[in-house]
C-alpha cells in the first residue's frame, strides 16, 4: 500500500511519512539494509514526536544490526534521553556499544539506568559485573553479582559465576568487610591461621570455575557438576 502510494504520488508531502512506514516494515522483518535505504529518504523534522523517536531508534538499530556502531550510538544517544517505549532499548544498546568500545565508565553509568527494567533484568547485570571486575573493583563484584544471581535468572549466569570465582580464588577481595563475610567466619579464621586451608579453598574455587567453562557439547560436561559448582561458589560467599 505504501509503496504504491509512493510511486503514484512522489510529490505528495505524505510520501515522506510513507518512506518511514516502509523503513519500519523492513526493520520489523529484519531487512536492515533495506530499512536504511528507506530511512535515508525520511525528513526527520516532518515526523511528529512519537514517530520521530521511533524513527531514530529503528534507524539506530538498523545501523547496529549492520555493524555501524558509530552511527547507531549517535542515534541511541538521542533516544535514550527521551521518555518513550524505546528508552530502555536505546539505553541498553548505547551502553553495550560503549562496552564494546571499552568505554567502561560510560557503559556502567548507562547499564545502571536499567535497574528497574524488566525487559533487560536478565542481561545487563552481567556487563555491570564484568565492568567492576575489569576496573579491579573486586569487592563490588561480590556485593553486586551474588544477590543478583540468587534472586533472578541470568542469561550469562555461568560467565557471572566465573567472574565471581576469580577474585575469590586469587584472594583479591577484602576479607571481613562490614557488609561481606568471605567464607563463614570460622573458615576465614582458620584460613588465616593455616595457610594450607586457604590454599585448599582457593583450589576448590578454581576447580568449580573450571567446571563452569565446560560447554554442554564437551565430553567432560555434566549438568550435576555444573550445578555443584554453582552452588559451591554462591555458598562460599555469605552475607552477614
pLDDT of residue 2: 45
Confidence band of 130 (pLDDT split at 50, 70, 90): very high
If one counts the domains in the chain, the total is 1
Identify whether 52 is part of a domain.
Answer: yes
Q: Mean pLDDT score of the chain, rounded to an integer?
A: 77
Identify whether 163 is part of a domain.
Answer: no
The runs of H, that is alpha helices, within 81-182 are 87-100, 104-111, 124-134, 138-151, 157-169
Is residue 84 predicted with pLDDT exceeding 70? yes
CATH number at residue 79: 1.25.40.10
Cell of 192: 588465616
Confidence band of 222 (pLDDT split at 50, 70, 90): low
User: CA 224, 222, 144 angle in degrees (round to 5)?
Assistant: 65
Is residue 82 predicted with pLDDT exceeding 90? yes
pLDDT of residue 233: 56
Is residue 13 predicted with pLDDT exceeding 70? no
Beta partners for residue 143, in sequence order: none
Cell of 53: 523517536
- Cα–Cα dist 133/150, whole Å: 19
Residues 24/55/75/70 CA torsion (nearest 10 deg)? 30
Confidence band of 46 (pLDDT split at 50, 70, 90): confident
Identify whether 153 is part of a domain.
Answer: no
147-153: average pLDDT: 84
Identify whether 232 is part of a domain.
Answer: no
Is residue 67 predicted with pLDDT exceeding 70? yes
Q: Which domain holds residue 16?
A: 2-120
Percent of the chain with pLDDT over 70: 63
pLDDT of residue 182: 38
User: CA 225, 229, 230 angle in degrees (round to 5)?
Assistant: 120
pLDDT digits (tens, 9 = 90+) for 22-36: 899 999 999 999 999
Is residue 208 predicted with pLDDT exceeding 70? no
Best mean pLDDT range from 77-81, 139-143, 231-235: 77-81
Identify whether 71 is part of a domain.
Answer: yes
Which residues of the chain form beta strands (DSSP E)?
Answer: 181-182, 237-238
Identify whether 141 is part of a domain.
Answer: no
Percent of the chain with pLDDT over 90: 44
pLDDT of residue 198: 45
Identify whether 18 is part of a domain.
Answer: yes
Best mean pLDDT range from 38-42, 129-133, 151-155: 129-133
pLDDT of residue 237: 52
Identify whether 152 is part of a domain.
Answer: no
Amino acid at each position: 500500500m505504501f509503496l504504491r502510494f509512493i510511486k503514484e504520488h512522489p510529490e505528495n508531502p505524505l510520501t515522506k511519512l510513507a518512506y518511514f512506514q516502509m523503513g519500519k516494515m523492513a526493520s520489523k522483518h529484519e531487512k536492515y539494509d533495506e530499512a536504511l535505504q528507506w530511512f535515508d529518504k525520511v525528513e526527520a523534522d516532518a515526523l511528529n514526536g512519537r514517530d520521530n523517536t521511533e524513527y531514530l531508534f529503528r534507524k539506530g538499530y538498523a545501523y547496529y544490526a549492520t555493524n555501524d556502531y558509530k552511527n547507531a550510538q549517535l542515534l541511541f544517544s538521542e533516544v535514550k534521553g527521551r521518555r518513550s517505549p524505546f528508552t530502555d532499548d536505546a539505553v541498553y544498546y548505547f551502553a553495550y556499544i560503549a562496552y564494546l568500545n571499552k568505554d567502561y565508565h560510560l557503559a556502567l553509568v548507562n547499564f545502571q539506568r536499567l535497574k528497574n527494567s524488566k525487559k533487560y533484568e536478565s542481561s545487563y547485570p552481567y556487563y555491570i559485573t564484568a565492568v567492576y571486575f575489569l576496573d579491579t573493583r573486586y569487592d563490588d563484584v561480590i556485593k553486586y553479582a551474588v544477590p543478583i544471581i540468587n534472586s533472578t535468572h541470568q542469561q550469562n549466569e555461568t560467565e557471572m559465576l566465573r567472574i565471581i570465582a576469580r577474585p575469590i580464588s586469587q584472594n583479591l577481595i577484602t576479607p571481613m568487610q562490614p557488609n561481606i563475610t568471605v567464607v563463614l567466619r570460622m573458615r576465614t579464621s582458620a584460613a588465616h591461621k593455616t595457610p594450607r586451608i586457604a590454599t585448599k579453598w582457593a583450589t576448590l574455587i578454581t576447580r568449580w570455575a573450571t567446571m563452569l567453562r565446560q560447554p554442554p557439547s564437551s565430553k567432560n560436561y555434566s549438568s550435576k557438576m555444573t550445578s555443584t559448582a554453582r552452588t559451591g561458589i554462591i555458598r562460599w560467599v555469605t552475607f552477614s
